[in-house]
């Protein structure tokens, strides 16, 4: 019986071999929204004497708007037009966001936003296999640095070959800009990469950039429209302590927790 020829181990990667995994940050690398961003927003609002306070359900609704500045502008315009009418509104929001970012970074540095199960292990598997890890996020670059330093140590950022964040592009998710920026920096085609996302607007951005996408949903995003994703999981899972990864749509991982082999398989299924 003819056997399928397997490429010798040192064979050059083919155009569709998986070369890089591009991670979203908020909700994917770590549960940062309710543990980090929301309390930071509310602290900045209180210090500014605004009388604004976002509850968790309200904040989860506001996440449909990508970007902290954009979210506050939307909230002011729809809920507090008197504030939106201020002559210095743009500077006011910029300053409020800088204060919010300072509070977020302090919370991240204090360990309030741990990595989701399986992230550390998967980063090791990606590095051991000689593949590349990168980041494509809407959040501010300073927040990414604070999170990675707190959770991965001083050289944490170096685990990612490219970090695309916040205002490095004109349009935020669901526009594809941040993913296109990261692909250009990596010098790779979308077919050679796989994105990992947690939200509908994140999946839309990655798909618009032509990327195959795997979703790791969480309590705040389960039920969103993940059309176009290869598979939707409730997390990556970890062998120890035993935390399985359940498929909510699409194909499950081969075993208990998601491995690089699973990512390669979902990528291959997406690009063939």
Rg (CA), the chain: 19
DSSP E strands, 153-267: 162-164, 193-197, 213-216, 231-233, 247-249
- Please identify which of the residues 10, 17, 24, 238 carries the catalytic annotation: 24
The least CB distance from residue 196 to Mg ion, in Å, is 10
Residues near 49 by beta carbon (within 8 Å), at least 6 away in sequence: none
Nearer to ligand XBP, 42 or 140 (CB): 140
Do the Cβ atoms of 139 and 166 come closer than 8 Å?
yes
Q: Minimum distance between the CB of residue 140 and Mg ion, rounded to whole angstroms?
A: 14
**Least distance between ligand XBP and beta carbon 25 (Å):** 4
Among 17, 26, 128, 234, the one annotated catalytic: 26
CA–CA dist 157, 148 (Å, integer): 6
Long-range contacts of the stretch 40-47 (C-beta < 8 A, 24+): 40/100, 40/101, 40/103, 40/104, 40/107, 41/68, 41/72, 41/100, 43/99, 43/100, 43/103, 44/96, 44/97, 44/99, 44/100, 44/103, 45/96, 47/99
Q: Which is nearer to ligand XBP, 138 or 270 (CB)?
A: 138
Question: How far apart are alpha carbons 229 and 215 in whole angstroms?
Answer: 7
In the list Mg ion, ligand XBP, none, the entry touching 66 (Cβ below 5 to 8 angstroms by class) is ligand XBP
Using left for φ > 0, alpha for ψ between -120 and 50, and beta otherwise, residue 174 falls in alpha
Report the partner that residue 169 touches, choosing among ligand XBP, Mg ion, none (CB closer than 5 to 8 A by kind): none
- Shortest Cβ distance from residue 8 to ligand XBP (Å)? 38
Q: Is 177 annotated in the active site?
A: no
The residues that touch ligand XBP, with contacts defined as CB under 6 A, are 24-27, 33, 37, 66-68, 137-140, 143, 166, 173, 199, 202
DSSP strand pairing (132-136 vs 231-233): unpaired
| Nearer to ligand XBP among residue 206 and residue 257 (C-beta) | 206
Nearest residue (CB) to ligand XBP, 176 versus 202: 202
To the query of whether residue 167 is one of the catalytic residues in this protein, the response is no
CB nearer to Mg ion: give 139 or 190.
139
Q: Which does 68 bind (CB under 5 to 8 A by kind): Mg ion, ligand XBP, none?
A: ligand XBP
Which residues contact Mg ion (rule: CB under 5 A)? Answer: 24, 26-27, 198-199, 202
CB of 138 to Mg ion, least distance (A): 7
Catalytic annotation, residues: 24, 26
């Amino acid at each position: 019986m003819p056997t399928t020829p397997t490429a010798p181990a040192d064979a050059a990667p083919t155009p569709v071999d998986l070369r890089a995994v591009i991670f979203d940050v908020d909700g994917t690398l770590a549960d940062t929204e309710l543990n980090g961003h929301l309390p930071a927003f509310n602290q900045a609002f209180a210090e500014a004497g605004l009388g604004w306070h976002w509850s968790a359900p309200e904040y989860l609704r506001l996440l449909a708007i990508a970007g902290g500045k954009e979210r506050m502008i939307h909230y002011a315009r729809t809920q507090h037009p008197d504030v939106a009418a201020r002559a210095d509104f743009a500077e006011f929001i910029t300053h409020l966001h800088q204060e919010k970012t300072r509070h977020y970074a302090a919370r991240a540095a204090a360990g309030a936003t741990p990595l989701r199960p399986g992230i550390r292990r998967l980063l090791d598997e990606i590095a051991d296999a000689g593949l590349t890890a990168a980041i494509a996020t809407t959040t501010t670059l300073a927040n990414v640095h604070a999170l990675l330093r707190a959770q991965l140590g001083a050289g944490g950022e170096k685990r990612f070959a490219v970090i695309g964040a916040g205002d490095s592009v004109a349009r935020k998710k669901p526009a594809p800009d941040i993913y296109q920026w990261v692909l250009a920096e990596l010098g790779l085609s979308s077919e050679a990469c796989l994105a990992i996302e947690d939200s509908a607007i994140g999946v839309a951005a990655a798909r618009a950039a032509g990327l195959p996408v795997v979703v790791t949903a969480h309590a705040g995003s389960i039920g969103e429209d993940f059309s176009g994703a290869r598979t939707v999981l409730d997390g990556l899972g970890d062998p120890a302590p035993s935390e399985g990864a359940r498929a909510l749509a699409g194909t499950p991982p081969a075993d208990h927790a998601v491995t690089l082999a699973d990512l390669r398989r979902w990528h291959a299924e997406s690009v063939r």
